[in-house]
Chain A
């Protein structure tokens, strides 16, 4: 450079820069990123996509049939019976809404914390959020039994002069979930606008040009626009941050504000939020590891990204394990015999193996593998743990919900819940809806936020090449993650 002697501190700083692993490997440049990410959308659908979509959309269709059957016949098509009035329906609701949380955490909280690695995964994680919330929103609607009266949940004037109870946790939930979905859509679409402009500019057919042109809103990358855009993005992140923490807290109020033993606890809001992020990150990895392998995106979703997500799973998984432990401790320490009985019932009652397998093995023990860096590096181990967590979080919700109800205060009314085929296929149907929507998403929209991931490339720095240290991010720098 200018040949002036450099202070030792500067050299140290420069060395630190040197050892930082680049977020985009092999020095891929801007046009490579555009080409590779847009290419996924622009090439004709590969055969595996059609096969996968045929399977998932069939499951979705049958799930919709089950929903139709349940609506037309009644809630009796499910196994729900007193005392287990909430079973798979609300389990699925909490399961799906929890999955969404990872997307918002990645897009909002990691953005506020300047975690640039989020840029490779935020788009697909946000899409996952939307699809999970769509699946979640089905269940409260249909479990009320008279689906055509679901509009009672909305506060609007009606000719009976009846209004909602705004002091009810269930009413809060209506607002929390609908706000969550709407804000997630806005956030996602705001992030998509510059990438839709990329697809518009690359479009070869008239239809694509027109459609992407409409949805890109005439975006032209002007810095006067970026200025407002970045402020909007920052504020959406700022608004979403308390939102993501609130949604699952409000979901947990549905339980915590009742008097059922195992439900009536103050630990629920943080415990639910940690569990949601835990389960959500597992689902992000479940979707992204195959997508990365199929579309050869290893230079964008690098081992470093997987490693960091695995660490978040370890952290939140340990929160969850701690919360489970505290529940047992409090049940014992409170001296409340109903509480003690309910927790005893949890590990030795009718759903004992759900607890031993789902909560203990899948949720508490399996993520502990991520203490070892070779486990975080091995995609098969990561995928295995994520599948454990996906299953474990469903079991956890089922144990909390049905396990809390199955042996209530009156032993004469005890009754074990058995799912019917409608229960099972409605759940499989929502998995089909979720995966079908995700498959459509990766076909038609860029699954990685191009305009954001480009900012993680060293050349995006306005001082690139003008200051020492900035240009020296080496291609195979020593891994810093350990």
Chain B
């Protein structure tokens, strides 16, 4: 009985993989569809997006707290994260949309 259940789940998993991969391939291959439309279905499944990443940062990647009340600044050549490991997130506020639950 247990083996039969497992076989059913395994079949479901493989058919799901085939279905999802086919959809993804179709989205990639559709030349006439704008990228935004192509990926909109995906985006719905992706969840909440960190909107700040799509925006140029309002500040450099240098720490936002530079020099505030610290009586001195970070030095320029290597004095900030922006010069060293800026991740370009430009802030982490989200776009405020509701979470898209993956599986209801």
Whether A associates with B in a native complex is no
Show the binding face of A for B, using Cβ within 8 Å: none
